[in-house]
Amino acid sequence: MSRLSTFFLMFLLLLMPLSFSYAQSTKVIIDADTGNEMDDLYAIGMAILSEKMEVIGLSSAHFNNAQLLTDSLWHIYPTKDINTLKISQSLNEEILEALDRSDIPHPKGAERMLGYAWGYYKGAPIPSSQASDFILNEVKKLEEGDKLKVICLGAVTNVATAIELSPEIASKLSVYLLGMQYNVEDGIWNKNEFNVRNDLNAMDRLLANKKLDLYVMPASTSSSLKFAKQKSLNKLKNIKHPLSDILARRWAEVNADEQWTMWDLALIAAMLDPKTAELEERLAPAENGGRLINVYTDINAAQMEAQFWKLLEAQLSND
């Protein structure tokens, strides 16, 4: 073998581990209040179908809020004796069955918030659940130096609970969440947002934990990703798959107007293709210590939508 051939062989051998690691899918746990609206279902579907992401767990989250006490209906669900966790869990299982992926663990989350309505402190209730136990068990499986990625599409109760039960796991987690409003120009946060309202205590605990890697997709950033109803229904009709039937049905179940904001889908799309979003280090809210966290400050909504439909059509049309 010539010296030149030997050089190229050594060069290729050096590249092989790099290429292999790059090709590996990212392992994630998705924690979702799937029964709340519509975008969770689209986000979960995209994550499971993508070869870039390996969903190792899909847990359910509650979406308890004050409006459930005043209104007779929440979308199609009667609010009397409503169990929001049960609704989310049922939809999670339906999605997995439609994709023939019931092998993915789907633990139940907590039915209530962390602590009390007036706050959380040492000695306040910690609502342990199958979901928090699952996170703790997955952390134990990590190799030295690895981190477990947890994506929260609703209230962050389950991951915050896991950390409260075992504080040492914070440094072994990377939490991606959809929540809060953020003014990019002046750097001001606003927690007057649905997911935060469902468990402000849990959100505050994550924001203040300096050992935790935190990635935030503010609702104000993801709000530019909107799907048109008729266009979406036409595309779903042409795909002809059990999942597309579920996604189409959801437009009627949430009484959607002519378009719907795909808040949660924006977070999944940004993780799958970082080129579709701008991610910057910004200061967390001052009341939580003002540490640096990772914030999505802008997204390319048109590119995200195009990639979603391209993936769905490619993965489901031939089934």
Span 59-85, pLDDT tens digits: 999 999 999 999 999 999 999 999 999
Edge to edge, what strands does the sheet with 148-152 contain?
53-60, 26-32, 148-152, 173-178, 213-217, 292-299, 277-283
Query: How high is the pLDDT of residue 17?
Result: 40
At what angle are helices 130-140 and 157-165 packed, to 10 degrees? 60
Q: Which domains does the chain have, with CATH numbers?
A: 24-316 (3.90.245.10)
Mean pLDDT of the chain: 93
Ordered DSSP codes for 234-290:
HHHHHH-SHHHHHHHHHHHHTT--SEEE-HHHHHHHHHH-GGGEEEEEEEPPGGGT-
Nearest-angstrom CA–CA distance, 129 and 136: 11
Query: How high is the pLDDT of residue 26?
Result: 87
Assign 20 a pLDDT band (cuts: 50, 70, 90). Answer: very low
**pTM for the whole thing?**
0.92
Query: How high is the pLDDT of residue 314?
Result: 96
184-192: average pLDDT: 97
Query: How high is the pLDDT of residue 16?
Result: 41
Assign 25 a pLDDT band (cuts: 50, 70, 90). Answer: confident
Q: Is the pLDDT of residue 6 over 60?
A: no
182-192: average pLDDT: 97
Nearest-angstrom CA–CA distance, 42 and 62: 18
Length of the chain: 319
Assign 318 a pLDDT band (cuts: 50, 70, 90). Answer: low
Task: Mention every residue, 6+ apart, whose C-beta is less than 8 A from residue 280.
Answer: 294, 295, 297
